[in-house]
Amino acid sequence: MIKRHFILFPYWRYLLSFIIMCLSCVLSAQDFSIIPAPVSEQKGQGIFELSEATVLVVPSNQPAVQKIASYFSDKIKPATGLALKISGTPGTSSIQFVLNTKADAKLRTEGYLLETNPGTVKISANSPAGLFYGVQTLLQLLPKEIESKNLQAQMKWQVPAVTITDHPRFSWRGIMLDVSRHFFSKEYVKEYIDQLARYKFNRFHLHLTDDNGWRVEIKSLPKLTEVGAWRVPRTGTFGSNDAPKPGEKASYGGFYTHEDIKELVQYAKDR
C-alpha cells in the first residue's frame, strides 16, 4: 500500500499544478466583476476615462432618458467633482444613452447593451429601465471610490474597454424592509432604496404595520400613530425581551407622514 502511494504521488502533483495554472488564468482574466453577473461580457482594448470634457449625450425629446443621465451626473459628482454637461451632440469624450427605436429582442424589457471604448461609452436599451440598469453597471466598472460622498482628488476615473450584454432572469426582483418592528428614518429608507437600485432589484416592499408598531399617518385615526407608533425600549434577540411594565413609558418608535410616504414612493419610482 505504501509503495502504491509513492507511485501515485507524482500524478497528483501534476494534477495540482494544472489546477493552479487554470485558476491563475481565470483570475488574470477577471479584472472587473459585476453584481449580479451579466449574461455576457467581452473585454476589449484600452480604457475610457471620465474628465471635465465628458458629455452625456441624450436627445432633447427624451425627458425620461435625460432624467437617467442627470441621475448618473449627480451620482458621480461628490467623488469626482465633475459637473458633466448633458447635450444632444457627442464630444471627444462621450457617454451616449440610446433608447432603441426598434426593440432588440435579446435585451427584452429591462436589458441593456453597454459598450465602452477609449473616448466613448454607449448604453443602449429598449426602455428607460434598461438604460438605468446599464448605468448601475457602468458605476460598478468605475473604481470603488466612486461611491464616496467626499471628493477623491487624486483618482483617475477609468473604465475598462468592454462589451456587456445583460437582461434579468426574473421580471420580479423584490426585497422587503420591515419598519414595524424597528423604525428606520426616511433618509435611511432612501439609502436602502439606493442599494436595491445598485443591484438591479425592481420591487420594494415597505412593511409598515404589524403588532409591534403602526408606521403610517392616518389623519382620520390619529391614535394609530399617537399610540401605535411607540413602544417601550427593548434590545435583544427575539423572544428574550421582557414585557412592558406598568407605567413604563413607550418612547421608542416613529412614523411617516403622508408627505414622507409620497416622497419615498417617488424616490423608489425614480430608481
Q: What is the pLDDT of residues 24-73, one digit of tens each?
A: 444 333 467 899 999 999 999 999 999 999 999 999 999 999 999 999 99
Place of cell 448605468: 135
164-178: average pLDDT: 97
Angle 179-183-187 (CA atoms, 0-180°, nearest 5)? 95
Beta strands 120-125 and 112-117: pairing type?
antiparallel
- Measured distance CA(114)–CA(83) in Å, rounded: 22
Place of cell 392616518: 218
Q: Residue 134: pLDDT above 50? A: yes
Burial pattern 47-80, b for ≥16 Cβ within 10 A else e, equals ebebeeebbbbbeeebeebbebbebbbebbeebb
Which carries the bigger pLDDT value, residue 239 or residue 160? 160
Q: Residue 90: pLDDT above 90? A: yes
Out of 2-16, 210-224, 256-270, least confident range: 2-16
Q: What is the pLDDT of residues 241-265, one digit of tens each?
A: 888 899 999 999 999 999 999 999 9
pLDDT of residue 259: 98
Domain spanning 30-166: which superfamily? Chitobiase/beta-hexosaminidase domain 2-like (3.30.379.10)
Q: Residue 9: pLDDT above 50? A: no
Find all residues with CB under 8 Å of 162, minimum gap 6, and list them.
Answer: 32, 41, 42, 43, 44, 114, 115, 116, 141
Out of 102-116, 208-222, 227-241, least confident range: 227-241
Domain regions of the chain by residue span? 30-166, 174-270
Tell me the pLDDT band of 230, cut-offs 50, 70 and 90: very high
- Name the grid cell of 153: 482628488
Q: Residue 1: pLDDT above 60? A: no
Is the peptide bond between 36 and the residue preceding it cis, with omega within 30 degrees of 0?
A: yes
183-200: average pLDDT: 97
